């Protein structure tokens, strides 16, 4: 580790891996020859990808701040358009968690379009993704300069990464993608990074949360009709079981979810009490419902009513 920043910045003490510093020094030199620098950072959720991305961005651009962190394609396009020459941007897509193929397809299309247009901007762009192998070949192989694969050590200790340069990264994409294995190609080097944000963590988390909620609201309007029907049927069944006297905890245990999830289902805007159409659910007779399989209890209850 070498000291690259003598003042504490939002918890980061300014240490950077020595090998990494040498590579980033070279990137800062080369970018001034009318190039741009696209880096990919991937790894398991919670492994520290965003922290490493911020530290590299701050080292490359001392003016890097929370306004240059993007969580949506729309934010990314806007920041790229307004960012000054040699500025650093972090596109933090870790917010999607278990990304759907539809979400990844949307992001890949945007990246291909934007990265094809921004070379003359001479920017440092750090793309934080759940998995390198899910990226489009253009961005993963031909357009990016290096891959930082973040992982945890013994006892889930954070702060480790493998660095793949341009050629090693291409080989990894070709030979590792079939089995999603990072062991197929040896990295150029492995390094450590320290904990600590280079931007205000509270503002960062609030911005991330707001982007996630906006994405959820946006996705609500894209649910296919058959899924809406299944969701309504689920809520009807949960309401029926609740009226039978079951607690949220007991319902959750029976179907394998938490009682908080059951409460959320019953109180959401799509819950039975808020549906425009109110199904007629008849009260169920008082019968012993203890220690019996859930579906068997419901079936017996309805049979007795008939």
For 93, the token pair is 């897509």
How buried is 151 (Cβ within 10 angstroms: 0-12 exposed, 13-18 middle, 19+ buried)? middle
pLDDT in tens, 145-203: 999 999 999 999 999 999 999 999 999 999 999 999 999 999 999 999 999 999 999 99
How far apart CA 74 and CA 160 sit, in angstroms, is 31
Q: Under DSSP, is residue 44 helix (H, G, I), strand (E, B) or coil?
A: coil
Which pLDDT value is given to residue 111? 82
- The mean of the pLDDT values for the chain is 82
In this prediction, what percent of the chain has a pLDDT beyond 70?
78
Task: Examine the pLDDT at 85 and tell me if it is beyond 90.
Answer: yes
Which is more confidently placed, 47 or 101?
Answer: 47
Task: Examine the pLDDT at 40 and tell me if it is beyond 80.
Answer: yes
Confidence grade of residue 125 (pLDDT, cut at 50, 70, 90): very high
How many angstroms separate the Cα of 34 from the Cα of each of 29, 31, 137, 221?
Answer: 10, 6, 23, 43
70: which strand partners?
Answer: 91
Residue 149: partners with Cβ closer than 8 Å, 6 or more residues away: 42, 43, 132, 161, 162, 164, 182, 187
Which pLDDT value is given to residue 20? 96
Q: 39, 144 in Cβ contact below 8 A?
A: yes
Which CATH architecture is the domain 2-216 placed in?
A: 3-Layer(aba) Sandwich (3.40)
Taking residue 195's Cβ as centre, other Cβ atoms within 10 Å add up to 13
Which pLDDT value is given to residue 174? 95
Q: 71, 211 in Cβ contact below 8 A?
A: yes
3-state helix, strand, coil in the chain (%, to 5): 55, 15, 35
Give this prediction's pTM.
Answer: 0.70
- Beta strands 37-43 and 146-151 are parallel
Concatenating the DSSP letter of every residue in 165-206 gives -HHHHHHHHHHHGGGT-TTSS--SEEEE----BSS-HHHHHH
How confident is the model over 223-242, as a mean pLDDT?
A: 77
Which pLDDT value is given to residue 230? 75
Distance of CA 270 to the CA centre of its chain: 25
Which pLDDT value is given to residue 98? 38
Domain regions of the chain by residue span: 2-216, 225-305
Q: 288, 301 in Cβ contact below 8 A?
A: no
Confidence grade of residue 284 (pLDDT, cut at 50, 70, 90): very low
How many angstroms separate the Cα of 165 from the Cα of each of 83, 232, 286, 292?
Answer: 26, 50, 69, 59
Cα-trace Rg, the chain: 25
């Amino acid at each position: 580790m070498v000291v690259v920043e003598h003042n504490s910045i939002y918890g980061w003490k300014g240490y950077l891996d020595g090998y990494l510093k040498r590579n980033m020094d070279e990137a800062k030199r080369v970018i001034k020859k009318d190039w741009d620098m696209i880096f990919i950072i991937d790894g398991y959720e919670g492994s520290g990808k965003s922290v490493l991305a911020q530290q590299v961005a701050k080292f490359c651009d001392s003016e890097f701040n929370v306004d240059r962190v993007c969580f949506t394609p729309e934010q990314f396009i806007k920041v790229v358009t307004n960012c000054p020459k040699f500025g650093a941007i972090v596109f933090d897509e870790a917010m999607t968690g278990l990304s759907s193929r539809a979400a990844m397809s949307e992001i890949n299309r945007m990246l291909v379009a934007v990265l094809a247009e921004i070379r003359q901007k001479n920017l440092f762009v750090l793309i934080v993704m759940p998995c390198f192998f899910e990226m489009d070949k253009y961005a993963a192989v031909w357009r990016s300069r290096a891959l930082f694969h973040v992982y945890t050590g013994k006892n889930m200790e954070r702060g480790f990464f493998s660095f793949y340069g341009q050629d090693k990264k291409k080989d990894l994409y070709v030979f590792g993608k079939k089995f999603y294995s990072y062991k197929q190609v040896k990295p150029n080097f492995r390094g450590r990074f320290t904990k600590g944000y280079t931007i205000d963590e509270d503002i960062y988390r609030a911005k991330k949360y707001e982007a996630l909620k906006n994405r959820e609201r946006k996705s609500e309007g894209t649910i296919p009709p058959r899924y809406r029907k299944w969701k309504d049927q689920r809520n009807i069944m949960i309401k029926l079981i609740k009226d039978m006297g079951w607690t949220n905890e007991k319902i959750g245990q029976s179907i394998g979810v938490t009682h908080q999830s059951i409460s959320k289902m019953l109180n959401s805007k799509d819950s039975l009490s808020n549906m425009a159409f109110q199904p007629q659910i008849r009260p169920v007779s008082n019968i012993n419902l203890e220690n019996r399989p859930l579906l068997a209890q419901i079936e017996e209850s309805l049979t007795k009513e008939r």
